[in-house]
Amino acid sequence: MNDFLKDKTVLITGASNGLGAEMARQVAQQGAHTILTARRTEKLADLAADIEMKFDVSSRYFKMDMTDFAEIEQVAEQLGDTKVDVLVNCAGFGIFEEAVTTDFDTVERMFDTNVLGLMRLTQLILPRMIERKSGHIINIASQAGKIATPKSSAYSATKFAVLGYSNALRMEVKPDNINVTTVNPGPIATSFFDIADKSGNYLDNVGFLVLKPEKVAAKIVAIMGKGRREINLPFLMNIISRTYQVMPRVIEFFGKGSFEKK
């Protein structure tokens, strides 16, 4: 249990399914009120109703497309003076395709969703956290932001950007008693791969590394309200990405077979 969450408010983007939805259930189970956003409001409505029925907390939801900055601003305005204790930027998508053939409209949409939308929402939520001198921002990045692999150039670029933004932001808001955590998971068994992996084989190819969303969510929920810098999962991928920082050529040479399983 994380006692910090009792009667706190947690805003989660990309909450309609997968990791976002699982985090929403787990924080509500521990007494937190939830604000849920995604593009598909029908799933949000069902999730919010289920949370309120099971856990006796409030759960609000808003339609918010992370590529639509006007819509992000509108949601922030609707929230008004709502006290957001934890912001979890979870919305995102990727595709596995070589850089030369990746549709550039898709690249732009990926950056808008994974990076610019995240930055804009954070920018709108932060002022009230700074006023209160408290808050926690959790950005879901990826092991792809630590070590890039073939057929993930655009996606990796977005996650490298999220890590850079988060690292700078952490130093800026530390005097205001605001925590910034990045979460860097490997592959998670969610609908993310319905879009990312056209072949449908990737999760099977890297089966022993695949994470369960329930496990990842539990680790994130456990550190809410705490000054944790990063969560890196799974352990083996974290070791590889750390080694890559000092021996990139060695990892690229010996990891070639694994990198090309997409």
Active-site hit among 61, 155, 165, 202: 155
Asked if the peptide bond before residue 187 counts as cis, ω within 30 degrees of 0, the response is no
The encoded tokens of residue 204 equal 């099977």
* Cβ–Cβ < 8 Å for 135, 233: no
* Cβ–Cβ < 8 Å for 41, 65: no
Give every strand in the sheet of 86-89, ordered side by side: 59-63, 33-38, 9-13, 86-89, 135-140, 178-184, 230-232
Is residue 202 among the annotated active site residues? no
Would you please indicate which residues are annotated as catalytic (active-site) residues?
155
